[in-house]
Amino acid sequence: MSFIVAVDGPAGSGKGTVTKLIGDKLKLVTFDTGAMYRAISYHMLQEKISVDDIESVKKMLDEIDIKLDFSTGSQVLFLNGQKLVTELRTKEVNEIVSPVSHIPEVRAAMVKLQRKLAEGQNVIMEGRDIGTAVFPNAAVKIYLDASAEERAKRRLKQNLENNITNMSYEEILESINKRDENDKNSDISPLRKADDAIVVDSSNLTIDQVTDKIIKIINDKKKMIKLEKKIYSEMPESAFKHATLWSIKHAMLLFFYWPVYRLKVVNKQYVPKDGAYIICANHLNMLDALAVVCSNKRKVRFLCKDEIFKNKILRGVLKTADTIPINREKNDIESMKRTIKGLKNGDLLGIFPEGTRRGLEKNVKVKNGAAFFALKSKVKVIPLGIQGSFKPFTKVKLVYGEPLDFSEYYGKEKDKETLDKVSDIIMDNIIMLTNKEK
Ligand code: DC
């Protein structure tokens, strides 16, 4: 699978320089998408195609052939076989490239081409719409910004280095402000930060500092991806091996748990020997899920926030019981799929509807996840009241209630009111059981 870094931001924010440096350091293919819009502009100038002549633009887009060559380590662009370098940076091209890049047909063709060219590669791509339109699922999205004043200063310095002296600082600043305004307010792919992009402001940073900052963001993300792979890896096993392995693992867990906590289970008969069910319990302590797992011969697969998986030892324990990681920061589709698949396969799941330890005491709103899965997968909920101080060498009491049947609500898992109602019924039953047989 390819790894994509999207870098967007206004002109003069340093995208080009920084992206190239990072690409070289991290061995990512470095795409400069502005060059592609410049190539189209160059071609339109050559062929005298007006920006308003959409039919001719469309025809040109059908016929044109843009290729990128990276064999020298940097992007070299070929248009219909002709290598273009200085041609892309002329005053004439500069003048029309912005309107050209706002032609919807041009944008659509470029986005398509950019996706195709990046296929299967590890890429850092810079532009204006990479994180929002070209690769909305990029692994890393950076929005590189700098104040208009700083960008004007940089442009002035660049101009002087190239003996261009026809614009004062004030004129450059005015033109940058105008262009920003245009880019941000354009109807077609306006320049905007993707919601999940990380903003890096380069105004007061050196190139090296910006580069290091972004490299750190990329490396952190790579580490996270590696960790997620570990968290989500599943060993395919035969049903027999699975059952045998579980007996051994269960015995091991009990071996460690039993000497520390005395487990007392009331109404064990309410946990059927097979079939899909969801056990919903109050959440007192980090170790209460383990109490439920240890006291059941059947494997209880809990849903647990993925942060806990970061700890190597805990990860081992959690994976032993096939715990399902859930990222609560986002809509964790992967986790939902696993839960639904588990229920389809007849698993016994464990969920703490409070979502956090002692949530009720903290007045935290009950989460609707358990209700959602019960209605979506058409399974009964087994309420469970957990009692205990969880101080070592004390008793932990688990009181099960009769499975709750929500069949009258099946198919209504998208209705918030229904979910709230079902969640309340579940929670009321749990609370009742926590007060039972003290
Ligand atoms: O980054 P640059 O100055 O070479 O870009 C040239 C023009 O192309 C500029 O007006 C912005 C536009 N552009 C765009 O609209 N979308 C991109 N992904 C890249 C550049």
CATH of domain 237-434: 3.40.1130.10
Q: Would strands 348-351 and 277-281 be described as parallel, antiparallel, or unpaired?
A: parallel
Å from CA of 98 to ligand 1 middle: 7
Mean pLDDT, residues 102-115 taken together: 96
pLDDT band at 232 (very low <50, low <70, confident <90, very high): low
Spatial distance between the Cα atoms of 19 and 330, rounded to a whole number of angstroms: 28
Å from CA of 11 to ligand 1 middle: 8
For the cut 80, the answer to whether the pLDDT of residue 235 exceeds it is no
Q: Is the distance from the beta carbon of residue 128 to the nearest atom of ligand 1 less than 6 Å?
A: yes
Whose Cα sits closest to atom 2 in ligand 1?
34
What's the pTM?
A: 0.69
Task: Specify whether the CB–CB gap between 394 and 388 falls below 8 A.
Answer: yes
Å from CA of 104 to ligand 1 middle: 14
pLDDT for res 88: 94
Q: Is the distance from the beta carbon of residue 37 to the nearest atom of ligand 1 less than 6 Å?
A: yes
pLDDT for res 163: 81
Mean pLDDT, residues 210-224 taken together: 95
Pick the atom of ligand 1 nearest to 130's CA.
18
Mean pLDDT, residues 309-337 taken together: 83
Pick the atom of ligand 1 nearest to 38's CA.
6
Domain ranges (residues) in the chain: 3-231, 237-434
Å from CA of 35 to ligand 1 middle: 7
**To test ligand 1's pocket by mutation, which of 91, 97, 189 has the most ligand atoms within 8 angstroms of CB?**
97
Å from CA of 390 to ligand 1 middle: 60
For the cut 70, the answer to whether the pLDDT of residue 55 exceeds it is yes
Spatial distance between the Cα atoms of 371 and 420, rounded to a whole number of angstroms: 8
pLDDT tens-digit readout, 401-436: 999 999 999 999 999 999 999 999 999 999 999 986
Highest mean pLDDT among 171-180, 232-241, 263-272, 326-335: 263-272
pLDDT band at 437 (very low <50, low <70, confident <90, very high): low
Q: Is the distance from the beta carbon of residue 11 to the nearest atom of ligand 1 less than 6 Å?
A: yes
Whose Cα sits closest to atom 9 in ligand 1?
98
pLDDT tens-digit readout, 131-175: 999 999 999 999 999 999 999 999 899 888 878 788 899 999 998
Task: Specify whether the CB–CB gap between 199 and 143 falls below 8 A.
Answer: yes
How much of the chain, in percent, has pLDDT values that exceed 70? 97
Range 3-231: architecture per CATH? 3-Layer(aba) Sandwich (3.40)
DSSP per residue over 234-278, as a string?
-----HHHHHHHHHHHHHHHHHHHTTTEEEEEE-GGGS-SSS-EE
